[in-house]
Each structure stands twice: as C-alpha cells, then as structure tokens.
Structure 1
Amino acid sequence: MMNPRDLFDQTTFECSKLITQRYSTSFTLGIKTLDQKFHLPVYAIYGFVRYADEIVDTFHDQDKEKLLARFKKDTYEAIETGISLNPVLHAFQLVVNKYHIDQELIEAFLHSMEMDLDFKTYDDSKYNEYIYGSAEVVGLMCLKVFCEGDEAEYEKLKVPACKLGAAFQKVNFLRDIKSDYEERGRVYFPGVEFTHFDKIVKKQIEEDIQQDFDDSLIGIEQLPIGAKLGVKVAYLYYQKLFDKIKGLPAETITQTRIRIPNSKKLSLLIGTYFVNKLGIT
C-alpha cells in the first residue's frame, strides 16, 4: 500500500497528466512513446508550462501580471521547500529537484511569459529571446530528464534540442498567426505586419524553420534509447504540420488555423514505432 506522501506525489503527477491529455493530443501521443520512466516527469513539465501559458493567453478578465507574479513566486517557493499544495507546482518541483533542472531555464521560461504581457511586436533580439525562453528551455528541461544526470550527454545534445524547440515554436507561430493577432494583438515574426503577410514573407519564415528542423535531426538520433522514439514522433508531427502549412497560400494562413487530424497523428505514431522499434522501413 502506498504511503501518504507517495500518494500525494503520485496524485499531483496524475493532475499534470490530465492537463496534458486535455490540452494536447499530439504531446500526449508523443509521451506515450517514451520509456515509461519518463512519462510522469514530462507530464509534470508540460503541466507547468501549460498553466503559465494559460495565465497570459486566457484570463483576459483577470490581472495577468499579478497572477503570473504569484505563480512565479509559488514556483520558486515550491522548488526551495520541496512541497506545494498546488498540484502542478508540486509535481514540477519534484522533477526539478530530482533531475537538477537549472534555475536559469525556469527563469528564462517565466521571463518569456512576462514578455507576452508587454510586447506586441518583436525585433530580432526580442524574437530570439522569446523563443529561447518559451520553447528552447522547455526542450532542455526534458533533455535533463532524458539524460538522467549524464551532464556530458546533456551538453552534447543541448544545441540540437534548442533547434528542435525553436522549430516547434516557429511552426506554432505560423499556425496561430491569425489568433495571435486577432485575439492578443501579437505578431511574433520580426518586421512582419499581419496585414502585409504574403508569399515572400511566408517563404522567408519557412526557410528559417526548415533550417532549424534540419539542424535538430542529429540530436534526435543521438538521444537515449528510451527518449528517441517519443521525440521522433513529435518531430514528424510538426514536420507534417509544417509541410501542410508550406503547401497553402499565405492568405489561407491568415484566415484559418491549420490542424493535423487525430487519425493522422495516430498513423504517425504507429509508423514511427515500426520504423524505430522493429527496423521496418
């Protein structure tokens, strides 16, 4: 029988798992292809970043700055004390403390959330700063889990992990360009005006994204065996979404949000499983 403290810890992880399942079918599918030992830690990371993101993107009738400041304070207190009655933060601090996730990564992520409260347009510097904090460091947090304390391996895979996170985030920016502009007044791509988004601008953005995808591949192939399949599924999903976006006119991107049906996500999962697990091409 599980002791009371273990039960509490397990329950908070299950809360983060539920959050992941409710908010992201693609991320949930990717996690399922990771080694079982990585499931709960990655759920905890996703739950943390999702709830922080919800503060700045969803609660328009609330004082977002105050909510985010409280969330930040509670995060650091949870990490320092090793406990929180907020189940998302408790699960996250367990992962941070077990896998020695650097505070700099957490600070950079929370700073990017703060940037969403202030910035509506981004120059090159702010764009890169935001992508690092909102996406690349999340990949690095997961990489800390996958490397399980092997710092040499972590250092070797840092750059490709950042490239993959950047590619994912930039694809999200393209996919969500309409909602980001209409609902939040944001355009993330430097020097790009929503009302002047055309095929030339779209092509330039796509070339940058493809380079990030290409640069990330070497890192995926070198990941620990228990992590490789899950990350590969995420890579293929986003590459498929990106390919779909590339095949559409610029005006379509500004008029609708592009999606990959769940049936295609599942086929990607199954196909990647057979290629990686059974050696079938």
Structure 2
Amino acid sequence: MSADLNAGYAACARLTRAHGTTYWWGARLLPPGQRRDVHTVYALCRLADDIVDEPEKVALPLDLPGDPAERLSAFASYFFASLTAGDADEPVMAAIVDSIRRRGTDPECFERFFAAMALDLSRTTWATWPELRDGYMEGSAAVIGEMMLPVLEPYTPDAKAPARALGLAFQLTNFLRDVAEDLDRGRVYVPQDDLARHGADPWRRRPDAAWQAMMAEQVARNRALYTEAEPGLGMLPPASRRCVGTALVLYRRILDRIEASGYDVFSGRHRVPTAERLGVTLRSLTLGPPTAGARA
C-alpha cells in the first residue's frame, strides 16, 4: 500500500473516531482490514453531509463551489470519476475508492445515496412516515446497510433486509436525538402527520405532554426497526456479529436515554458515556457476539 493510501485510510479512521463514535467502537471489534473499510464507508457519508451543511469542516484540498447544491454535485462527480478511474489524486478519496473496489460494492448504492443528500437541499419536512422512509431514508440510511454488507462478509444474501432495517433504525435514532440541531438548520425529520395528530410542535422546543406522546410513538417505531434488524446478527461471522451487535446495543441505549429524560431532546444531545461504550465493547469481546434480542 502506498504512503498516500495509508494516509487516506488513517484520515478516514480519524473522521470516524471524531464524529461516528458508535461506529468507531463497533469497528474496534473487527480485524484491521474490515475495520478500515468500515471507516471509509463512514468517511464518504460524513464528507457528503458536511459538504452540504458545514463545508468549513471539510479539510480535503478540493476546489468546491460556494453554493451547497453545486458543492454536492462537484463532490459526487469527483467521487464517481475516481471510482471509474480506480484511483484518486487525494488520499482520502483514494482510500474510499480502493475499499469500494476491493469489496465489490454496487456503485448503484452511491447513486441512491447522493440523490438523498441532494433532497436535503430542497426538502425541509416530510408529510408521513412512509414518505420519509421511502423518499429520503431509502438513500440516506437503508442504503448504508447495503454498503456495509460487503465489508461484514455475511454468510447469506438474506442478510440484506436486516442490514437495511438497521440502517433505517440508526438514522431514525439520530433524527429523534438531533431534533434541536436539525431545527437550527430549518429541517424537521419527524413526520408532519404524527406531529399534527398529537398537537406537537418541535418549534416550541419544549417536551410538553403532546411532544412526549408523539415521541413515545416514534421511539416504539424505532425499537421495532431494531427488532427487525436483529435476525441479521446470526447471518454474520463472529467478528462482524460483535461489531454490528455492539453498535446496535449502543444505539438502542440512546433511545433509553431519550425516554428517561422525558423525551427532552432540546436541552442537550443524548450520548452514551464513554465508560458505558467501553463496557459494552469489552462485554462483547469476553462473552461473545450479541444474539437476537440481546440488550447487553
């Protein structure tokens, strides 16, 4: 591996550790080759998201336009051109392309992903859960599960449906945790019909009775997705099962913390403490891979 490629993989690892802590802790349970490929998937998704919302955080030496839509289009074009060429003149992108080509990930996954990212520039609300799930999260969340599958090396193609469900579950947890942060960007990822049915208004930024009732339904929906994803654990080899099972447990604990706060997602960002993350990770290492239904 060239020095530049090594540098690219190292930068992807730093991005994951800085911003995707649950992915980071889960990936620690994988052999180094799989671990670095998890980091590249996360890095690509994180870079696309930051290029739209916070371009000042993107440290890549890329000449990107000032307009968000143009930035995203330029980044997507650079990615697809690099993927076609099989290499890139920038270390992080070179590592991403190297990983995708080695793993044989279907390029169509990335077409759906970038299409969903573009929707963030034109949509700020979603009318119903099916519209949010099928119109946006298909390309921003379910497809991430598909991108991860070649890295996780499942025993059977039947792992695809649980992987997609887990991608949806992870992102819905993020949506519920990050309501206030999304409001700051003018976006609401809670379905409008659910809000209206309960008389809940996120813009009040108060966990009143209407908000609590509405959020209880969202958390139940989210937990159902985790339950739908759990059978996929048994379709993975032990190291991958430990990785995914640990991430599942840690993400589900975010829901526990949201619930315990009275669904107050306005006063601060709910996180699983580092000591607790470490404990779950060590338990997975010593007691073996989590099984369906396990809460660690």
Q: What TM-score do the two structures reach when normalised by structure 2?
A: 0.85
Q: Identify which of 125, 137, 142 aligns with 1:136.
A: 142
Q: Determine if contact 1:122/1:189 at 8 Å carries over to the other structure.
A: yes
Deviation at 1:277, TM superposition (A): 6.2
Overall identity of the aligned pairs, in %: 25
Q: Does 1:179 find its partner at 2:191? A: no
Matches within 5 A, 1:1-281: 6-59=2-55, 62-124=66-128, 125-128=130-133, 129-147=135-153, 153=156, 155-181=157-183, 183-191=184-192, 192=195, 193-195=201-203, 198-250=211-263, 252-276=264-288
Q: Distance in 2 between matches of 1:73 and 1:37?
A: 27
Q: Which runs of 5+ in 2 are unaligned?
A: 57-64, 196-200, 205-209
Matched pairs, number: 270
Which consecutive segments of 4 or more residues in structure 1 shift more than 6 A?
Answer: none
RMSD, aligned α-carbons = 2.2
Deviation at 1:24, TM superposition (A): 2.5
Q: Determine if contact 2:124/2:188 at 8 Å carries over to the other structure.
A: yes
More helix by share: 1
Deviation at 1:50, TM superposition (A): 0.7
- The 1:277/1:134 distance shift into structure 2, 3 A limit, reads closer
Deviation at 1:211, TM superposition (A): 0.6
Deviation at 1:13, TM superposition (A): 1.2
Q: Distance in 2 between matches of 1:278 and 1:217?
A: 10
Residue number in structure 1 paired with 2:60 = none
Query: Helix, strand or coil for the counterpart of 2:22?
Result: helix
Deviation at 1:6, TM superposition (A): 2.8
Q: Which runs of 5+ in 1 are unaligned?
A: none
Q: Distance in 2 between matches of 1:266 and 1:35?
A: 18
Q: Distance in 1 between matches of 2:281 and 2:238?
A: 16
- The 1:71/1:50 distance shift into structure 2, 3 A limit, reads same
Deviation at 1:8, TM superposition (A): 2.7
